[in-house]
Amino acid sequence: MIWMDYSIHQAGPHFKVEGDWPGEVMGVAEDGTRKDNFLYKPGDVFIVDDSGWLRKTDEVNALLLKHESNKSE
């Protein structure tokens, strides 16, 4: 799927993606009903790879442990 016509707002190291109406990229239709497709939703976790791709993951605990072990090396 190609997402077009959106804005990226940045505040320090944080950013969010906005569509034409609030919630569009999180699966909310313009009339407020739920859509089947979404870019992301609350609670999603992404890891950025070396090519800049954001890869969704459900393995948050494993990633935190890996990150902590890499910091101590």
pLDDT digits (tens, 9 = 90+) for 13-72: 999 999 999 999 999 999 999 999 899 988 888 889 999 999 988 877 777 778 788 776
> Within 10 Å of residue 9's Cβ, how many Cβ atoms?
9
Work out the pLDDT band at 73, boundaries 50, 70, 90: low
Say what the pTM is: 0.64
Enumerate residues 6+ apart whose C-beta is below 8 A from 20.
5, 30
What's the pLDDT at 1? 64
What's the pLDDT at 3? 67
CA distance 26 to 13: 21
